[in-house]
Structure 1
């Protein structure tokens, strides 16, 4: 069912992140379609949560705006249903475990299957606890996308064994947000990951410029950009389409 592999087929993947229902339901739907039309290979949709341990200030503020507009897990699925009326762009959700648990594991992943959501990233789900969720993801054909951090070290093998979709390589310690310099030795980190899996590796956390994207694409299969996109939406509100399109074009040019 998953079409995540299409994002990496014969190219370096550009993965764009946006927060569901920011600034509101209708424009959030429009912005995912705008990102897709501009050439984003895969769109990651963040499900807002009250205690987003991996999110920096830009994405936290987007989550607060989304809460004001009435976001819920059910509303996020309704949003994806609207997107799917016009777009087959590969989609993944970034969602915290409590939202999945509260919605119900079986129901959550069955809905992902119905809406052709190719994968789910759960940043607060450690590999030691993954089994209780993985069975539902597997039964629905939905990839449970693992995260590898700069501190994963000897745990990398365990984290990426049986990975599908892609591996999310976290470039930097701390939370999301644009960084002018990536201090992690990404080449070594990605080499370590690829010892244990043939699944594509995409790098996120801190990437915001075409120059960074071009450099990282030399060692990774894709780049993930979140805060820079969310910041454009914060600045432009309901009128961000052109700036989003221009930004995606610049990043895609850097990757090619």
Structure 2
């Protein structure tokens, strides 16, 4: 029987949920980055699938997707990469972050077969509106895969409905627009998080634009988890050459891990 999302989820005060792109800057390096994030305290790994038309992704993640696509990374290969991560010692939940078209092209049956084979725990599809996701949500539930729902400030009257049907953790989008590193966060997000937590029976995590320890401090008392994507992917981009060279990779991984630990210092996960 497959290990479930909840069985793999560490018992911590705050979830740290990093996002990286499968195949950036190279599939083998993706495995090492995932393990470094686990060592840094990651509770869940979001593994982004490179896509040629990423509607929700800002320029940093778009460039990472382009690098990964040059490595011929696909949804199927990315899911097999999770299996290799498991073999190397990754034991936290892995959520595949993909647009719906790659799932459609691969086929839902094939997706779930690969998910069970490789230890994939969750699925997040940012371009599939809640009202159009019922079939996939139900199939995920039957297959023991958590379907991660997004809720945004514009969700307004739909927040309670989305929260009541959410699985795994509820992903709150902190700001409108595409992903990206931001200097400041709109403090209106605090009221939004308070509203969402009224309805959610599962952890409420917030992402989009969180890029430094000050952002984490602002949010930590208003949510159960922090999602960090663009800031992490930008650091990978900065270390690109060093990560690709076997002679400098370990030093680059140490620098990468230290950078991540600095951002999440206010919620440094500790077992409870």
TM-score class normalised by the smaller sequence:
over 0.9
**SS at the partner of 1:59?**
helix
Change beyond 3 A, Cα 1:15–1:185: same
Which one has a larger percent helix, Structure 1 or Structure 2? 2
Displacement of 1:161: 1.9
Query: In the alignment, what sits opposite 1:91?
Result: 94
**Residue 184 of structure 1: how far off its partner (Å):** 4.9
Would you say 1:216 and 2:219 are equivalent positions?
yes
Match of residue 17 from structure 1: 19
Cα distance in structure 2, aligned partners of 1:3 and 1:251 = 25
| Equivalent residue for 2:179, pick from 166, 173, 176 | 176
Q: For 2:226, what is the secondary structure of its paired residue? A: strand
8 Å contact kept, 1:20–1:46: yes
Q: Does 1:246 align with 2:249?
A: no
1:72-117 C-alpha deviation (Å, 9 max, x unpaired): 1111012111101022122111100011111111221232233222
When residues 7 and 21 of structure 1 are mapped into structure 2, their CA distance, relative to the original with a 3 A threshold, is: same
| Structure 2: distance between partners of 1:64 and 1:177 | 16
Residue range with higher mean Cα deviation, 112-121 or 197-206: 112-121
Cα distance between partner residues in 2 of 1:7 and 1:150: 27
* Aligned counterparts of 2:176 and 2:165: Cα–Cα separation in 1: 25
Deviation at 1:7, TM superposition (A): 4.0
Q: Which runs of 4+ in 1 moved over 6 A?
A: none
| TM-score normalised by structure 1 residue count | 0.95
Deviation track 1:56-76 (CA, whole Å, cap 9, x = no partner) reads 000000000001111011110
Contact map agreement 1:144 1:164 (CA 8 A) in 2: yes
TM-score by structure 2 length? Answer: 0.89
| RMSD (CA atoms) | 1.6
| TM-aligned CA deviation for residue 5 of structure 1 | 6.9
Where in structure 2 are there 5+ consecutive unaligned residues? 244-248
SS at match of 2:239: helix
Cα distance between partner residues in 2 of 1:29 and 1:12: 24
Unpaired runs of 5+ residues, structure 1, are: none
Report if the CA contact (8 A) 2:18-2:44 is conserved.
yes
Cα pair distance change 1:184/1:53, threshold 3 Å = farther
